[in-house]
Amino acid sequence: MNRRRFLQSVSAFGATSLLPQFLSSAMAADTSGYKALVCVFLFGGNDCHNTVVPFTTAEYNAYSAARGGPAEVNGLALPQGALLPISNNTFGLHPALTNMASLFNVSKTLAVVANTGVLLAPTTLTQYKNKSVPLPPQLFSHSDMQSHWQTMRADYPADTGWGGRLADLFRTANTGKLPVSVSLGDGGVFMKGDAVSAYQVTPTRYRNGSIDNQSRIAAPPRADIWWNWTGSDPQALFVTNTRLTRANLMEEQFADVMESALDIGQFVSDAMYVEATTNGTTTYTLKNPVPGAWPTTNRLAAQMHSVASMIAARQALGASRQIFFVSLGGFDNHGDQFGRDAVTGNKTLLAGKHYDLLQQFDEAMKVFYDATVAMGVASNVTTMTMSDFGRTLKSNGQGSDHGWGEHLMVMGGAVNGGRIVGQMPPVALGTSVDVGEGRLLPTTASDSYAASFAKWLGASDPELDVLFPNLGRFATRTLDLFV
């Protein structure tokens, strides 16, 4: 068997017998109605200092000085005139985020959460320097900080993620075969629960500017296509062989995984698509097409198109709670944050890797939000961002280095938007939240951020403490994010 195909298959398997303690008792979670949480992970560490920028003259000047001036002198300060004003003109968004600025200013369906990061306890700069409180291990390391964000257990070698634990909590909310959690963008440990494993689907594929109708985002394993089995009916032989009872426990476990992949894949395909074969060519048409002019070259939008397609099919899928994971990589911009002006050839921050990534993000978020509006579920779907960490305020001459606290975004019809939630830090070097090189000491714990979405989905207060074991260390349990 091809290893990649096996991994795709095992991503569909369902429950195990290892249930956390709180799942063995009666749940208090509210599962009424329909709600979906979409987690957008920006892999590499997004430069939050150029995502949300001080706009007033004095604060902008301090920001520019801390960032080493404009691009022409190898600094990282965006031109003030290019910023998109938000929050009564006190801050500006990156010029690539035109749609996000509109959602923030006009529809008030986007909020910014300021200076959020992984903490083990409330921490001051003095405590950080003296190491008098526990600190997250391996600060500023990509893999470790990604894991900390995804597990919310920086003090423990966690084998589950908080998305997976949410899926465990709400596992009985769905009546069909599809698990609560669905992954598209390398969900890793975030989507791993004790009782539930995420189902893996693929980004929407396009051909000639529209959906490729010879592809599906989810399908059962095919022996004749995936593994080149031959014979008169290789798929029937494969299915029959998979469902045989085996004496060997390892073989039986493998067969159970494949059975689940077959059953869930067929269930999802039947719920979402009309299948037709003409002249030997099989096509698949969505039963519930997703509205909107979806871009066909945006890799994040292709993932979010699949998410929107599953939301559109929520009734056929029997889903009242869904958790999705999508991602966009490339934000580790140590040396490629700049670009060149197309006309003058001068070094600029209005082009380059970071600009292009934020433009993709902005386009994908907007078309997805518009689709939820058109489908009448905007208030039932919340989209939030995470990233490894922020970046240093100080320029390294070509880009920025690994930081800590970061500014994140939350979007949806239920979001109390048009606001910056939390405490925006002074954007200067040597402040009370600068642990070195302009790395921000977080003032909002990632636990409080994540718990806000769990509560919105319907988790009770006692369940929040089980989902996020360190939450009780912080005075702020959840943020004021929802109307």
List, as one string, the DSSP characters of 372-406: HHHTT-GGGEEEEEEES--B-SS--SSS--B-S-E
* Predicted pLDDT at 227: 72
Residue 233 lies in a domain: yes
SS3 content of the chain, % helix, strand, coil (to 5): 35, 15, 45
Residue 478 lies in a domain: no
* Predicted pLDDT at 220: 82
Residue 156 lies in a domain: yes
- How far apart (Å, rounded) are the C-alpha atoms in residues 261 and 197? 12
Q: Which residue carries 């995420």 as its tokens?
A: 198
* Predicted pLDDT at 50: 97
Closest listed residue to residue 44, CA positions, set 421, 382, 401: 401
* Predicted pLDDT at 250: 86
Pairing status of strand 420-421 against strand 110-117: parallel
Pairing status of strand 273-278 against strand 406-411: unpaired
Closest listed residue to residue 43, CA positions, set 324, 331, 362, 298: 331
Mean pLDDT of successive 10-residue segments in the chain (483 residues)? Answer: 42 40 61 97 98 97 96 95 97 98 98 98 98 96 97 93 97 93 86 92 95 93 73 80 84 81 91 95 96 96 98 97 97 92 93 97 98 98 98 93 98 98 95 96 98 98 97 98 97
Residue 381 lies in a domain: yes
Q: What are phi and psi of 372, to 5 degrees?
A: -65, -35
Q: Is 166 helix (H, G, I), strand (E, B) or coil?
A: helix
Residue 93 lies in a domain: yes
* Predicted pLDDT at 233: 81
- How far apart (Å, rounded) are the C-alpha atoms in residues 456 and 414? 9
- How far apart (Å, rounded) are the C-alpha atoms in residues 451 and 165? 12
- How far apart (Å, rounded) are the C-alpha atoms in residues 209 and 409? 30
Q: What are phi and psi of 100, to 5 degrees?
A: -65, -35
- Which range of residues forms the domain containing residue 468? 3-473
Sequence-ordered list of residues with C-beta below 8 angstroms from that of 210, at least 6 positions apart, any chain = 296
Question: Which amino acid is it at 390?
Answer: G
* First-to-final CA distance of the chain: 50
Question: What burial class does residue 411 get, using C-beta atoms within 10 Å of its C-beta: 0-12 exposed, 13-18 middle, 19+ buried?
Answer: buried
Q: Give me the number of domains the chain comprises.
A: 1
Q: Which two tokens stand for residue 429?
A: 């070097």
Residue 396 lies in a domain: yes
Long-range contact pairs involving 260-264 (C-beta distance under 8 Å, separation at least 24): 260/12, 260/13, 260/14, 261/9, 261/10, 261/11, 261/12, 261/13, 261/220, 261/221, 262/220, 262/221, 263/177, 263/220, 264/12, 264/14, 264/177, 264/178, 264/179, 264/199, 264/218, 264/220
pTM of the full predicted structure? 0.92
Question: Do 442 and 428 contact (CB within 8 A), yes or no?
Answer: no
Residue 479 lies in a domain: no
